[in-house]
Structures are given as C-alpha cells and as structure tokens.
A = this chain, B = another copy of it.
Amino acid sequence: MSSILVIGTVAFDSIKTQQKEVNEVLGGSATFFAMAARQFTDIQLVAIVGQDFPKQYLTMFEESEIDLKGLVISSGRTFRWKGEYEDNMNVRHTLETQLNVLEEFKADVPAEYRKTKYVFLANINPHLQMKVLDQLESPELVCCDTMNLWIENARPDLEEVLQRVNFFIISEEEAHLLTKEQNIIRGARQILKMGKFSLIIKRGGYGAILFTQRGEVFAIPAFPLENVVDPTGAGDSFAGGFMGYLAAQERMDLETVQRAMVYGNIVASYAVEGFSIEALAALTREDIRERMRQFVRMTHLSPV
C-alpha cells in the first residue's frame, strides 16, 4: 500500500441547487480527493488555507489519515468559490471566485514527501502542479485533473504537465473544450496525442470511459442515484476512489485500472448524496463494498 500525495485547493464553497443553498462549507479539489482516497490509503495534503480555516476541519483531516505537513496556514483568507446548479444537476455556473491565499501559494513539498510514488495533481493552476512534480524524486504514478479556466488561460503550462502524467482525468465538457471536437472518440484520440498518458473522460450522471495509448477502451455507466444533493466534488471523489484503489493495490495493469474506475464511480456516487464532504466523511468501507456488489449486479452480463 502506497501513500498518495495530493496538491490542490482547500476551499469554502457556497452552493445553490434548485432544492437548497449552503454557505461557506468545506470544499476544494484536494479536500474531496483526500476524503475519498483516504478510504484506501493514507494521504499527504499539499495545499494552503487562511487564518479563518476552522480547527475542527484540521482535526477531521488528521483523524482521516490525511497528513497535514504540507498544508500551509497563511495569514490571509481561505480560497472561496460560489456556484449554482441548474435543475438537472449536470450544468453548473460559477458565480464568484475569491482566490485569497491561493495567490501566494508556493506549493512547497515537505522533505518527508519527496519520495512519494503516487501523486494526484488535483485541479489547481498547472504551474503549481508542475512545481510539485519538480520537487519529487521519482514519482511512479501521476494522475492529473484540470478545469476550463486552465484549458483556456494556461494551456502551454497544462500541456507541459501532461508530458509527465500517467492518467489524465477530465470531464466530457473539458474534453470538448480542449479539442473543439464533439465526438468523444475523435476527441480522445486528439487528447492522447498530448502525452503518453491514459485518458479517463468523466460523463457526470452517465459514467466514465477510459482510453489508453494502445487503443483499449473501457466504459462504465454511472451508479444510478435517486438523490443527487450536490455534484460539487464528484470528479475529485472519482479520482480519489480511482487512485486510492490503485495505490492500495500497487498495480497498474488494465484489469486493476478497470476496477479502480468502478471504485471511483462508487465513491463519487456517495459524494454527491450530500453537500460538502458530509457523505464522504460518513462513508465506510462496508458502504463501498455494498455499492460495489450492487454495481456488479446491475452491469454484469452473464456469459451466453
């Protein structure tokens, strides 16, 4: 079992869905990833928060096998994001972003983390993702996420990072934005040319699909959910389940990667059943096993 180092954001999210509204709850790409992946292995968090960040969250992280040596507590205010979801939960609008302490973040990797082999570059400015990679001795498995902001405004940096990753995990909208291609296969083929990575395209409530450099394709439907409370963090939670499983197994063969996608799917299915990290904080390994059994039942095709 290997530890995972994650760099990304820790944030206060204010979120409006058609059902409910919450104000300044715990969020951020590194937060969701860490709270998901900690089900499988221990996590090293490289991130920054402000003086306003509640001690209770630090305690929760520490009690969740999330090591905080890489968490900077700065004198400013924590990063804030405000967004709203349309009725079907698949379309989201950003209403406000306050970078705050993120603007001064140096992404320094503590000496104790430099030998870490499994790395998740959660959604954050790609020059910070790169800085982390530069400080690591010999990472073995690097997964990377991004967002529309960096695709549009920091593409050269992003493409440089992509040279050094094993898995690039993005949403279908981000794949369209990267390639201007509506067809997922033609889009995937273009993206695969940007590096040597395997590509996972997340399709929200419709599952995920893997494309490898060798032409392998693996598709899974989403776990059907009756109650989607808040999709924020679903992608990070998917990555957390995915990478957590790979790090726990210390394997990267296709079959393990396929199973890891299903674990990602299932952890994400829990994440969206609550606001913030509510559902992830309450999640147990037995919950994951239970939904894994259900998923196999509802997708397994018996041989003829």
Contact = CB atoms under 8 A, between A and B. Distances in A.
Interface residues of A, number: 36
A221 interface: yes
A214 interface: no
One complex includes copies of this chain to the number of 2
Contact of A302 (B88, B186, B217, B258): B258
A111 interface: no
B301 A296 contact: yes
Given A203-B206, A259-B304, A299 B219 contact: yes
Contacts of A205: 184
A87 interface: yes
A217 B224 CA distance: 9
A89 B186 CA distance: 14
A219 B300 CA distance: 9
B255 A302 contact: yes
Interface in A244-267: 255, 258-259, 262
20 contacts: A183-B225, A183-B228, A184-B205, A184-B224, A185-B224, A185-B225, A203-B206, A206-B207, A206-B221, A207-B207, A207-B221, A209-B221, A216-B298, A218-B299, A219-B221, A219-B224, A220-B221, A255-B302, A296-B301, A299-B299
Interface of A: 87-89, 182-186, 203, 205-207, 209, 216-222, 224-228, 255, 258-259, 262, 296, 298-302, 304
